Amino acid sequence: MRICIFGSGAVGSHFAVRLALAGHEVSCVMRGAHLEAVKARGLTLRVGEAEFTAKVKASDNPAALGTQDLVISTLKANAVASLVGGLPPLLGDDTAVVFAQNGIPWWYDIGIAPDHPPVPELGFLDAGGRLRATVSRERIIGGVIFSSNEVVAPGIVANLSPDRNLLLVGECDDRAGARIERLRAVLNEASIGSPPAARIREAIWSKLLTNMSMSVLCVITGQTARAVRDDEALREVVPRLLDESDSIAQSCFPGIKRVTRTGPAPNHKPSILQDYELGRPMEIDALVRAPAAFARAANLSTPTLDLLAALAIQRARDKGLYKG
């Protein structure tokens, strides 16, 4: 299968190596020193003490990669607009596009189930509706990533979650079908876990529960998720934060699994904090602004989340990392 990973940073590079070693013809849209290293030496994945290197076709110009059977976008939510110009040269008649990102995706209301509560206005996730004009409903596949990775040097990515590397996928209208089954088989055969996801939006909310609460608190404090969970000064704050996050998710999917309130949290900095510290644009709209819109639509009171969201937005603006 011809597979293009669009936005091959840490997660995308990990998946690219796995898929290439599984025998697929993998192309990567990437840039900078990472691109130059991959062209020269291939793309290397480190898992513990083991290293795996794959030869992939890489370019910062999607048009140089040719049409694909499948495109997996691992771009962060605030960067998906770059797909508007980059996707068309990759698309054949039947090319599907997996949008694997954190937070509420731009396509959330497309193909939505009739029993889903009304969706608030989310036009800010796709300014000018350019993605809607570029990607037809038939091409859209939702994706949810559970995998922690880091680019440790140009051309080299380290996997930090060897026991948990998943890409959940589903049609935007949740219909079961051969396309999703084939994709899940491709991922599983490449050691990228892809268990069934009957409702892809529920899977999106399951991950978002942590991102819109604990990850935002990490941005405010500069601490890892574990440090935040263990901080005595935040003992009363964290449960309120998680309860408010749960209430938003429950308004869309009653009975959705609640965030674990006990046990150790991951001892690493979430991606939104890494972006803040490295001076990269932050996923504020998808992780903070969109969930707040859902809370308002459901007439929910979320004072703790609202305060933390305002503080996170202010920190991002002060550093020039968010202009919304």
- For the annotated catalytic residues, the residue numbers are 207
Rg (CA), the chain: 19
CA 304, CA 301: separation in Å to the nearest integer? 9
22 Cβ neighbours under 8 A, 6+ residues apart: 186, 189, 190, 191
d(CA 219, CA 269): 9
Q: In terms of DSSP H, where are the helices of 117-177?
A: 130-134
* Dihedral, CA of residue 55, residue 61, residue 67 and residue 71, to nearest 10: 70
Tell the residue number behind the tokens 């996050």, with chain if given. 245
Structure tokens at 1: 């299968």
